[in-house]
Each structure stands twice: as structure tokens, then as C-alpha cells.
A and B are shown apart, each in its own frame.
Chain A
């Protein structure tokens, strides 16, 4: 029983890690091109900084979903 409990906690921890890790990886891939485009736009017109910044951080929301799943996994399951 003790052994089973340890494996369960370990699997939960691995699951939480995967949730945050993959979400971070996905948002990073999405931000790669958005970031390049944002820098290009700002180079031509510095007044676009604010708008470019918003577009740039939009994919970060995906990481929040990953984080929520991780928290649920650790504290609720």
C-alpha cells in the first residue's frame, strides 16, 4: 500500500510537470514568430510597442491553463 501511494504521488507530480512543461513549450513556439514580427513592426514604427506587446504575451495564457491543471493535479487529486 505504501509503495502504491508513493507511485501515485510521483505520477501526479510527473503529470503536473508535463502539463506546465508542454504548455510552456507550446506557447514558446507560438511566441517565436509573434516576437519576430513584433520586433519588425516596432523597428518600423515605435508607437506600435504597446499593441505588439499585447500580441506577444497572448500565447502566455496557454501556460496559465497548464499551471491550473498542474495545481489541480497536485492539490485536488
Chain B
């Protein structure tokens, strides 16, 4: 009766920490201020906000956009690692499984960087060591030169079984990483779903959440392919991530067989994200970027609702992580946009607020 159940997880402690962190995220009006700043002003603004520690650590070695990029990614990985350290029991298992996606992100960044011939320093700026692969592991991967070596080492480090025919397929193509990246993306969700053992209400809820996230990823993939003129089950199904809640293989095949983007509307009318994309699908010119942005906003809203409905669960933690990730991508969009001299309205269109 009095034994403390450590397997259950310390939801009260971790959720309060996460909620306190969420209250410190950048608000909409602050983004509006940042849009009017120059790059040095954005750097200074970040030095005075939650990125203070990282900005002062890196200011001696870097400047400009490199500093903003590296500091924001470093801050994000530190924050995520601190949340993981604070959690216990099944909460720890769920958070660590969710953070594994950053391993895939890092490997993809290293592969892309290496295939474009970038130096180690430039690739390192885009890495987020929030998953189980820490900086030492990533440095080792960075020190390797060929894609084949990186994949072999990564599969050993992260216990990933990368089929040898996939590497052979990559070697056979003209250097396109698409086949490997698609495999890694599918693997990311397959491993996440495998890591969740649905034996309690919180884990069942988390599984449901992840499966709905897969739906959004698959819908976005189908729409992107349609915009490129790629339709039909045979061409599309290889990119579909298995395990979706509303978009199973049969529904995905049905959606893939529809030829125009606008005709998708009736097919998805029963799905919970329909209202978010309906006005965009009904518009005369369908913009894939706008659909992507709407899906991202929908995901944030869903995470917020999920966290309000389940206050003492993994939901607020996931909600915070999504919001933090969006904050970093918004900062980078503003910084890159300002540096390239883009119009304020264009940059604002790229933000997810």
C-alpha cells in the first residue's frame, strides 16, 4: 500500500517542469518584434532570452546565422535531455522513445552534409544530440567519409538493421539519398510504435497519439507527391509509413489513386484533420506549403488539446517538445529570412504560430 510505484512515472514533477518551461517560450508578439530586427539584433535578443547560456558559450567561436543556428539547436537538445533526465519509470521510456527521432534526424543531416561535400563544422551546426546518440557518437559518424561507412557505423551504434540491398541501391543511383532517408523515416515510426507497450492507459494514449501523427505524415507525403504529379498505388505506397490510425494501407491506396489534389477533400471528410485543411483544398490554387503549415498548426493544437485533457500524462511533455521544436524552426526561419533579405510578409508566412 505504501510502496512507491517507480514503474508508473513521476508525472507531477516532470509535467510541472515542462509547463514552467512552456511559459517561457517565445510568444506571437515577440515573433512580430523579431521580424523587424536585423541578424545581430536577433542574436542579441536571443542572448537575453532563454538561449542566453548557449549564445554566450558559442559567441567567441561563431557569429551571424551560424551562431543562431547552432545555439538554438544546442539549446533544444539540452532542454530535451534535461526533460528526459527528470522523468522516471514508464514516462522515461515514452520520452526516450519519442526522442529517438533525433538520432534519425542527425544521421540524415550527416548523410546529406557528406554527400554535398560540406565540412564537419557546417554539418555539426545542424545536429541535435537529444536522442541516444550523444556528441561523441555523432563526432565519430562525422569523422567517417563515405555514406556506406556512416550507415554501417550507425547501424552498429543504434542497433538499426539497414538492409544491404538498400545501400547497394544507393550506390547504384546517382547519389540520391532518397531511398535511405525514406527507409530511416519509416524505421523511426516503426521503432517508436514498437517501443510503446500498450499495457496501461497512459501508454495506450501515447500509442494513439503517435498513430495519429503518422496519419499526418502520410497525408502530407501523399499531397506532396500529388503536387509533383505522382499518383497511383504503385508509385505512392512505397513512401507510406505503416501504423497510421485513420489512414491505413487501404485508405492510403485510395488517396494515392485520386489524381487531382482538390479531389482529395471528399475522401478525407471523415478524418479529424479535415477541418484544418478543408479551406486550402477547396481553394482554386492548392499550395502544398500552406497545407504543410496547416497540418503543423493542427498538430500543435492537437498536442495542446491532448495535454489539457490528460494533464498528468506524457501529453504535456510531448506538447512542450512540439512547441519547442516549432519555436526553433520559427527562429531559424526568421534569421535565415532576414539574412537573405526576404520580405517580412514572406517570412511571416513561413512561421507556424
Where the two chains meet, the residues of A that have a C-beta atom closer than 8 Å to any C-beta of B are 32-34, 36-41, 43-45, 48
Pair count A-B, CB < 8 A: 32
Contact B13 A39 (CB under 8 A): yes
Residue B21 at the A interface, CB < 8 A? yes
Given contacts A44-B20, A44-B21, 19 further A-B contacts (CB under 8 A): A33-B12, A33-B312, A36-B10, A36-B16, A37-B12, A37-B13, A37-B15, A40-B12, A40-B13, A40-B14, A40-B15, A40-B20, A41-B16, A41-B17, A41-B20, A43-B17, A44-B16, A44-B17, A45-B20
A41→B15 CA distance, assembly (Å): 9
Q: Mark B193-208, 1 if CB is under 8 A from A, else 0.
A: 0000000000000000
Q: State the main secondary structure of chain A at its contact with B.
A: helix
Q: Chain B: interface residue count, which band?
A: 10 to 19
A72: min CB distance to chain B, Å: 28
Query: Which residues of chain B (1-51) have a CB below 8 Å from chain A?
Result: 10, 12-17, 20-21
- For residue A36, which residues in chain B have a CB less than 8 angstroms away from its CB? 10, 12-13, 16
B321: min CB distance to chain A, Å: 16
A39: min CB distance to chain B, Å: 6
- For residue A41, which residues in chain B have a CB less than 8 angstroms away from its CB? 16-17, 20
A34→B13 CA distance, assembly (Å): 9
- For residue A37, which residues in chain B have a CB less than 8 angstroms away from its CB? 12-13, 15-16
A39→B86 CA distance, assembly (Å): 12
Query: Which residues of chain B (204-246) have a CB below 8 Å from chain A?
Result: none
Closest to A35 in B: B12
